[in-house]
Amino acid sequence: MSPAAAGSAVAGTPNVRVCSRAVWEAKLVCALILAGCGRIDFTPLPDVPTCAALLCEDFETGVLDTSIWKVQDNLGSLFVDSTQPHLGSWSAHAHTEAAPSGSEILADLYEPSVLLGVDPFHVRVWFYASDWPALGMGKDTLVKLGNPGGNHLQLETGEQTRGVLDFGSPGFRRISTTTLPVGGWFCLEWALVPTMPQRALMEVAVDDVPVPELSTIEVATYPPNELKFGIDQTPTGDTGAVDLWIDDIVIDTVPIGCAR
């Protein structure tokens, strides 16, 4: 058979072909692929997203990373589930039970080192609330920065108006005119940029819109060693059950925004 005939049908055996070296090489590649040694699609795989910040948490492992996070609960619980994810399939879910007046209600996710003192401090987190407590039912703390049993800075809702965001620290309180939504995700970003020892310029934004009453104000700070997300409530009346989902937490030393 002449070289030109290589790869052509053999006379008398129409279903048999003599394969050239290139054909055998292609068959070898296919065999390796089937053996798990390669991919049929040779286009580059997309880059796996990485966290360029100090800490990123999207809960997409489906379990709480106990090397980073701790849980504090009383008349409530905090766990990772798939009932209301922001992006992906999982989020942290804080659930509190109906409770009588004066109860200490906790369903907190907290990081007990605050990354060993981030300075300046920026945190971005997404929340989804089933409801906010009625006026006179006490406050729902969303984000709290401070020391166990000591001084705290906290963003919360319900101090004077149901669902309205406010800020509290020892001897200082500021109420905003921003009402936080129910039944939908919202993005909350909080920044503390030091101006001098134990003083910082505070900025707060919801869905990338600055909250004017809580922004460009100087507040006293304290050496923090815990950062909490969730529900921390002592109602002044009987209160019903509340669900709060938490997702896509980022902590960094620079502004974060909701798209990152």
- Domain limits, the chain: 1-46, 55-252
Give the number of other CB atoms < 10 A from CB of residue 134. 15
Among 245, 250, 248, 258, residue whose Cα is nearest residue 84: 245
Classify 35 as helix, strand or coil: coil
pLDDT in tens, the chain (260 residues): 444 444 444 444 343 333 344 444 444 434 433 444 443 333 333 344 567 788 999 999 999 999 999 999 999 999 999 999 999 999 999 998 888 877 888 899 988 877 767 788 899 999 999 988 765 545 667 888 876 666 788 898 876 778 889 998 888 889 999 999 999 999 999 999 999 888 899 999 999 999 999 998 998 887 777 889 998 877 777 777 889 999 999 999 999 999 87
Classify 79 as helix, strand or coil: strand
Among 81, 83, 72, 155, residue whose Cα is nearest residue 121: 155
- Does the domain made of 55-252 have the CATH classification 2.60.120.200? yes
Q: pTM of the entire structure?
A: 0.78
Among 183, 204, 180, 194, residue whose Cα is nearest residue 256: 204
